[in-house]
Each structure stands twice: as C-alpha cells, then as structure tokens.
Structure 1
Amino acid sequence: MAKPIQIFTIGFTKKTAEVFFNRLIEAGVKRIIDARANNTSQLAAFTKRDDLRYFLKTIANIDYIHVPEFAPSKDILDDYKKKRIDWNAYEERFGKLIRDRKIEDQISIELLDGGCLLCSEAKPTHCHRRLVAEYFQEKLPLDVEISHL
C-alpha cells in the first residue's frame, strides 16, 4: 500500500513568529501553500507574502507557493463575516466553489504532500483551509492524512 499523503494546515493569527516557524519545522513541512486571497495586507504581519517567502526559506528552508483558487470568494467571505450566512451555509457555498474551480487540478500531488495550507484563522474549526484539506482527502486517489498545526 502506498504511503499516505501528508497535508498540514496552519493559521498565523494568535501565534508569535517563533511559535509559527517552530511548528512548521517540528512537523517537517516542506512548503507553505498560501490559501489566502489577500496575502499582501499589512495586517498579515510576518506572513505578508514577500516577507513570509524570505522568512520560510531563511529560517526553515521551506518553500512557498500561493494558490488563490483555494481561497473563498469575496462575496462568500463577506456574507459570513457580516453574518448574512452561518457556518453551514458558508461550508456549502465554499464547497461548491472549490468543486467548480476543480482545485485538485490547480496543484500536483507532489506539491500537496508535505505542504501546509496557510490562512489567518487561529483554529481550523471554522476555517476554509480545513475544508480544502478535507476536500483533497475525499477527492484524491490516495490516502490523505491531515494535521492541523
């Protein structure tokens, strides 16, 4: 039987840079897969795109890729943040969006394996990165293990 694919997820909110980078290193993450639509905001602190790419390579020898197709659309995110929809509706709409986008065609299995989906949410419970990881777990022809860091 083939070795399972390992997908990690992490959010940067409520983490210091030290905690964030140490979790990635200790888990053996090979690359960050940035699943944010907006990765250049000043609010992203040490995870602003260009800074993060530099820090990952310099501190941990971890690669960086941005896959905006893994992010929710602005309308879905706005509807959820403004409480026009609840989490169940968000999951349903985001699930349809990533199915329609065929996100499994946006990245190779080789890049996913050992990759860590990044977004801002502190915990994966109500976060799109968990939904993306679970989508791959269902869709890919191999076993997928998910670890939330």
Structure 2
Amino acid sequence: MKLFTIGFTRKTAQKFFGLLRGSGAKRVVDVRLNNVSQLAGFAKRDDLAFFLKEVADMDYVHVPELAPTQEMLDAYKKEKGDWKQYEQRFLGLMRERKIEERLPRSIFDGSCLLCSEDKPHHCHRRLVAEYLQQHWGDIEVKHLT
C-alpha cells in the first residue's frame, strides 16, 4: 500500500496540486482538526474538495479521528511546547482511538494525508503514517514536499 503525505503551507496552488497530481494518489485524507480556517486559502474544506476534483481528479475526505485534540495543539503551538512531548501525547491518542482497528484500510490505500505543516518532520501527519505503518506493516510512505 502506498500512502503519501503533504502540507499546504509555503506552497502555491500550482506546486501543491502539481505534487498531488504527480504522486498518483487518488484521494486526500484531511487530518486537520480545523479545516475551514480563512488562513487556509485554497485548502479550506469546501474549496479544497472542489479543486481536488477539478484539478487532480481526486476525492476528498476529512477524518478528524486522525487529528490531535485542540488542547494538544494549543500546548504545542500557542504555548511553544516540546515536540517530543507532543509526539508522545499524540501517539497515545492514536492508541487510545485504536485507529488501526476502527478505520478501514481502504481509506488509506493510494491516499495522501493532508495537514498544514510545510515539512513532515514536526507534523502529526507523519506520525499517523508511521503509526499505521508500524501496525499494518505493508505501507510505503512518501512525503510530498
């Protein structure tokens, strides 16, 4: 199974949709907690679903079970928290939610996890991909940057 990840920050629409089209992914799985922010530009939920279909012939699905809680986000972003602590809390949340059991594999096959962070290094989309890879074992992860 191939699973891609992408963030939209610091990308033009041309770069963003070009990377998605070139990947061969068939669906974007939005793992953001807040997907309607005005700051998101072309990546707002309704606009994104439209553009993905029109520009890249891709489906869109929002899966908030793959997002951190608002409390976790605030502790890390607003309060300038420690990445390692955030990572451990988020992975604990994934275990608690049992995403590997509750979410069908078909959602992820040939999909691209989306969030806002430009690079995957300090981003929960990478943690989701690695968590699923660890539990399912047969996932090839590629970060689109």
Counterparts of 1:78 and 1:71, CA distance in 2:
13
The equivalent residue for 1:67 is 63
- TM normalised by structure 1 equals 0.93
Gaps of 5+ in 2: none
Counterpart of 1:144 in structure 2 is 139
Distance 2:80 2:37 in 1: 24
Residue matched to 2:23: 27
SS at match of 1:50: helix
Task: Pick which of 108-117 and 86-95 moved more.
Answer: 108-117
1:48 paired to 2:44: yes
When normalised by structure 2's length, the TM-score is 0.96
Paired residues of 1:31 and 1:115 also in contact (CA < 8 A): yes
* Secondary structure in structure 2 of the residue aligned to 1:32: strand
- Quote the offset at 1:82 in angstroms: 3.0
Corresponding residue SS for 2:4: strand
**Count of residues in Structure 1 that have an aligned counterpart in Structure 2:** 144
CA separation of 1:42 and 1:106: change in aligned 2, threshold 3 A: farther
How many angstroms apart in 1 are the aligned matches of 2:20 and 2:100? 23
SS at match of 2:35: coil
Which runs of 4 or more aligned residues in structure 1 lie more than 4 Å from their structure 2 counterparts after TM superposition? none
Residue in structure 1 matched with residue 99 of structure 2 by the alignment: 103
When residues 12 and 106 of structure 1 are mapped into structure 2, their CA distance, relative to the original with a 3 A threshold, is farther
Maintained 8 Å contact 1:69/1:106: no
**Separation (CA, whole Å) in 2 of partners of 1:52 and 1:34:** 10
- Which sections of structure 1, spanning at least 5 residues, go unmatched? none
Q: Does 1:133 align with 2:112?
A: no
1:85-100 paired onto structure 2 within 5 Å: 85-100=81-96
User: In structure 2, what is the Cα distance between the partners aligned to 1:132 and 1:116?
Assistant: 11
- The change in CA–CA distance for 1:111 and 1:124 in structure 2 (over 3 A counts) is same
Pairing of 1:9-20 with structure 2 (within 5 A) = 9-20=5-16
The 8 Å contact of residues 124 and 148 in structure 1, kept in 2 or not, is answered as yes
